[in-house]
Structure 1
Amino acid sequence: MHYYQFNIADYQSHTKHLTPIEDICYRRLLDWQYLHEKPIPNDMKSMCRLLVLKDYQEDVEQILNEFFVLTDDGWINQRAFDEIQSYIFQEENNQLREDGEKNRIRRHREERKKLFADLREAGVVPKWDILMGPLRELHKQHCNKTKTGNVDTCNAPVTEQERACNAPAMAITNNQEPLTNNHKPEDITHTVYPSQQSREPTPAASVCLELKKIGIIDLNPAHPKLLMLIEAGATIDEFMHAARTAKDKGKGFAYVLGIVKSQRAEAAQAKGKVLQGTIPKQKKWKKFSGFDYVNGGDGYGNKREQCDDDSRTIEGHLVNDIP
């Protein structure tokens, strides 16, 4: 033990009669027992040397006889002994609790890793900080059920008229004759197992996969706004463009959805108000330069012309007529 509680009032009430040397001897004996968590050896000369009290052997012996009890293992202070036992018991409990917590965390991480791997294989990219409850539900929704049309395979309960997933398809006959090898090839049907079926990612999953490549990590393919935008006709390019903007600003998935929604809302409001065809070119006006005019130019970078009536013109207009 490197630390123990010290009750000053309790200590003074039991040691106020001690001399300063006896007080030092008592404190050093207590510290040694707490530190080593065992009885003090019954070897007075050796102990006095360890405690740097060789010249005070009688004082050490007096303290031992007054505050300690001699046992087969050595001298013990009952109060210190009880504290040490309590500490050891607590340490053992803490170790057991820590070991149990480590095992629980390990199992939790292994399960989480497996759920994420299964969902990615199914084309679903869950949010990185999703809780275990929603993650298990998402796994149950996308991975525990492989549907063909409206009929569940593999995970659906097997009835008399259904065959097991791993059993080959065989016709049921009413006779008990043994099967022979004269079956026609067309009589044998081929069972398509779920693992052989192609798994195409959903539109939402495809969007999330592309956003992840750009660097958006807090993805949720089941987000209601994402599903709404896809249903409204939003394309992957729209989401990717918004994702680059969000990435530059340090924003996440929700910001991407907000950009796409705002852009589509603005486009809907501007429908019918947008100019059709090529935008007409607008005349560019140059800024008049007094410096150019003073130095013989027309103020716009061109050479200034002189008229017969001493009137100066700029691009066919009188200087005085220029507004």
Structure 2
Amino acid sequence: MHFYMFNPADFNNSARHLSLPERAIYRDLIDMYYHSEQAIDTSDIDRLARRLLCTSAEYRASLEYVLDEFFVKRGKRHHHHRIDREIKNYKFKNSHTNVTQAVTPSHTHVTSDVTQGHANIDVTMTAAERQRKSRQDKRKMIDDLTNIGVSVDSSIKLTDLRELHASH
């Protein structure tokens, strides 16, 4: 990614307790993560420390502290949940040019299961993916109803459309 949203208030709230070098290291890790669009490779911690200019013992300790506090180690990489989600949104948005609304971070991941009529929790679906699925579901219900001779206004609310679809 060549661009990402940075919220100074979020950063300050989560990193206010860090020393100045730790804050700088955290920002560098965030930038590295977004730039590579991959979790931080910690398989060679000496190389990572060198890339982040953490050449003193104090800075090296700060690097390890920041990794431990803000990232989750999975295998040889350190992941950051929010960054992973934003990169996924970014990749999804760029691979689906028909998605015109801006992709924004979401703390709730709920999708509608049209056939069962209830909500399912899905932590893997992004906001853009949910919106696309909702549009596809709506289009399918309208097509189903049209195919059996029911006239449907395309501006119908989704809840009303679901009720109409279920009744036919």
Task: Please report the TM-score for the alignment, with normalisation by the length of structure 2.
Answer: 0.54
How far off is 1:72 after superposition?
2.1
2:69 equivalent in structure 1: 66
User: Hey, what's the Cα distance between the residues in 2 that align with 1:67 and 1:12?
Assistant: 13
Please state how far the C-alpha of 1:94 moved relative to its aligned partner: 2.2
Tell me by how many angstroms 1:49 deviates: 0.8
Counterpart contact for 1:22–1:60, Cα < 8 Å: yes
Cα distance per residue 1:195-216 (max 9 Å; x no partner): xxxxxxxxxxxxxxxxxxxxxx
Q: Distance in 2 between matches of 1:95 and 1:54?
A: 47
Which residue matches 1:79?
82
Map 1:170-249 → 2, pairs under 5 A: none
Q: In the alignment, is residue 5 of structure 1 matched against residue 5 of structure 2? A: yes
Q: Deviations over 1:207-262 (max 9, x none)?
A: xxxxxxxxxxxxxxxxxxxxxxxxxxxxxxxxxxxxxxxxxxxxxxxxxxxxxxxx
Deviation at 1:95, TM superposition (A): 8.6
- Map 1:253-272 onto structure 2 (within 5 A): none
Query: What is the count of residue pairs matched by the alignment?
Result: 97
Q: CA deviation at 1:75?
A: 0.6
Tell me if the contact between 2:93 and 2:99 (Cα under 8 Å) persists in the aligned partners. no
Q: How far does residue 14 in structure 1 lie from its aligned partner after superposition?
A: 0.9
Aligned to 2:52: 51
Structure 1 runs (4+) deviating above 4 angstroms are none
Provide the C-alpha distance between the structure 1 equivalents of 2:73 and 2:62, rounded to a whole number of angstroms.
16
Amino acid in the other structure paired with 1:52? L
Deviations 1:8-46 (A, max 9, x none): 111111111000000001000000000000011122111
Q: Would the alpha carbon gap of residues 93 and 38 (structure 1) be closer, same or farther in structure 2, given more than 3 Å must change?
A: same
Structure 1 residue 53, shift from structure 2 partner: 1.7
Question: Which is higher, the Rg of structure 1 or of structure 2?
Answer: 1
Q: Which residue of 2 aligns with 1:39?
A: 39
Which amino acid is the alignment partner of residue 30 of structure 2? L
Paired-residue identity, %:
33
The root-mean-square deviation of aligned C-alpha atoms, in Å, is 1.8
Distance 1:16 1:94, change over 3 A: same
Distance 1:81 1:96 in 2: 20
Bigger relative contact order, structure 1 or 2 (CA pairs below 8 A, ≥6 apart):
2
Task: Provide structure 1 residue ranges, at least 5 long, that are not aligned to the other structure.
Answer: 98-323
Q: Report the CA distance between 1:52 and its aligned residue.
A: 1.6
Measure, in 2, the Cα distance between the counterparts of 1:3 and 1:62. 27
* Secondary structure of the corresponding residue to residue 54 of structure 1: coil
- Distance in 1 between the 2:12 and 2:72 partners? 20
Q: Call closer, same or farther: CA 1:73–1:44 in 2, change over 3 Å.
A: closer
